[in-house]
Amino acid sequence: MPLTVGIVDDDCYRVCRSCLLSTMLALAACSSSGPVEQESKIAASASQTAVMVMDAWAAGAAPSNYASATLQSTAEALVEVGRQIESDNPPESPKRREVVTAVAQLSEAAKDAQAGVEAGNLRQVSQARQELRAAAANLAAAYAKYFAPKS
């Protein structure tokens, strides 16, 4: 029997969105690694959250309002992740730019998913899910390249 989410008022949605954003930001504060590493981990976690929400919505297990609010919060958190990486002190590097680009792709895919949920368009959400997975793969590759040993 599938797990379903009950009807919840708008205040709960706001609280859930705030908790999601706070949790992602707290993860960064708990790590002793550099900003690119911390923020990349937050971005990866946010993309997994977005996929889970899209899957739940597509299966009818999450209401549209909840899915839309969560995807909006995720997209906003990803924009902030990109800003944090860009504000890192070392001079801009092509490798860091690749990480920032991948995070921006994740944010755009989350926004596309949100629009699909709001429109009730399963096809658009499915396409956004594919975009999100591709952007997550781009982030993983950019992350590996950024931290690859210099030869």
Distance CA 141, CA 81 (A): 17
State how far the Cα of 102 lies from the Cα of 123, in Å rounded to an integer: 23
pLDDT digits 0-9 by tens, 36-57: 999 999 999 999 999 999 999 9
The per-residue pLDDT for 31 is 47
State yes or no: pLDDT of 1 exceeds 60: no
CB contact at 8 A, 75 and 111: yes
Confidence of residue 20 (pLDDT cuts 50, 70, 90): low
- Give me the pLDDT at residue 35, please: 86
Residue 12 reports pLDDT greater than 90: no
Residues 6+ apart with CB under 8 A from 11: none
Q: Specify whether the CB–CB gap between 107 and 86 falls below 8 A.
A: no
Angstrom CA distances, 125 to 35, 51, 54, 116, stand at 31, 10, 7, 5
CA separation, residue 84 to residues 25, 39, 51, 146 (Å): 11, 7, 23, 16
Check: pTM over 0.95? Answer yes or no: no
Average pLDDT on 93-119 reads 96
For residue 14, pLDDT beyond 90? no
